[in-house]
Chains A and B, each alone.
Chain A
């Protein structure tokens, strides 16, 4: 059984078809890139996986189950916008996550925090965008989840913070989990990806291993992306 599966998944926003009969199977032990331009349906797909939206047609399955209370406990979500109360301190956030999620590993979070020079008493409000991103990532990656959905984890963030975020994703690799990174910043992220999924206007137009694409196309994923999504 695939850890994540979409079967003829369709979603409308009013009359607009945001996702059009998506068929997709992803396996554990992979870091997969969900790549597409803004508005292609990436965030819609992730929200459906998290049970924040309901499908109009078809199914979306987390370890064979439809999104609900059971799957929410195994799925970790890092949204593309700040989703935490700005007034909270790092310490309070760790506690909040610990209370909310059984699988939150406070020790791991503390370890990841070390060496970042951030005080537990600092509030999010005081932090730069890059630092906020790191805190959000630490919270999400400190959960022992089956699937991690990271929506634009490196957008608008400086190169050093980007490196930290990618290194953290690599170091947290687990062969029993799936990490799905949704982004349009392909060049920065592609060396970290096993498989690559191109999503265009709500349809999956490509699903292949990154190194196979490099071999067959003689291009990087970024290069192929530019071709496939040429305006």
Chain B
């Protein structure tokens, strides 16, 4: 997996984001074991403490859990995964709205544009 980090934002935040996306899009499947902190840190070319911090946050959110002698696993709780999808969806929509509003579009213009785009997409 290619890890690309944006400048000017904490790396651990971006790792959390990337793993959440990977969980939501099925790259990491429910119940799948994640690589160790060290292995993933090497893959992403980041400091192991940074990776550990990201894992801790994901664990606090209930998206991953630790089995003491085995490692870390993606949650299998449907509820958690639904919430994740909804949350990520809202974040992307918020980002889209921000960008389009910066271009001077009103809320109605944005909704109309989205509908049109969706129609053409089918």
Chain A residues within 8 Å of B, Cβ to Cβ: 29-31, 163, 166-167, 170-171, 173, 191-194, 210-212, 214-215, 217-220, 222-223
Q: Could you say which residues of chain A place their CB within 8 Å of the CB of B49?
A: 29-30, 194
B7 touches A192 (CB 8 A): no
Classify chain B: how many residues form its interface, as a range: 10 to 19
Q: Which residue of B lies closest to A217 (CB)?
A: B8
Which of the segments B9-17, B24-32, B59-67, B69-77 contacts the partner chain?
A: B9-17
Do the beta carbons of A223 and B8 come within 8 Å of each other? yes
Question: Binding site of B, secondary structure by majority: helix, strand, loop or mixed?
Answer: helix
Across-interface contacts of B38 in A (CB, < 8 A): 170-171, 173
Shortest beta-carbon distance from B68 to chain A in Å? 18
**B: which residues have CB within 8 A of A?**
5, 7-13, 38, 41-42, 44-50
List of B residues within 8 angstroms of A170 by Cβ:
38, 41-42, 45-48
* Set of chain B residues within 8 Å of A173, measured between Cβ atoms: 38, 41, 47-48
Whether A171 and B9, one on each chain, are in contact in the complex, defined by CB atoms closer than 8 angstroms, is no
Nearest CB in chain B to that of A211: its residue: B10
Q: Which residues of A lie under 8 Å from residue B46 when comparing CB positions? A: 170, 191-192
Excluding A191-B50, A220-B7, 4 further A-B contacts by CB distance (< 8 Å) are A31-B47, A166-B45, A191-B11, A211-B13
Of B7, B12, B13, B50, the residue contacting A223 (CB under 8 A) is: B7
Query: With the chains together, A135 CA to B54 CA distance in Å?
Result: 33
A-B contacts, 6 listed (Cβ < 8 Å): A173-B41, A173-B48, A210-B11, A211-B10, A211-B11, A215-B10
A124 to B111, CA, bound (A): 66
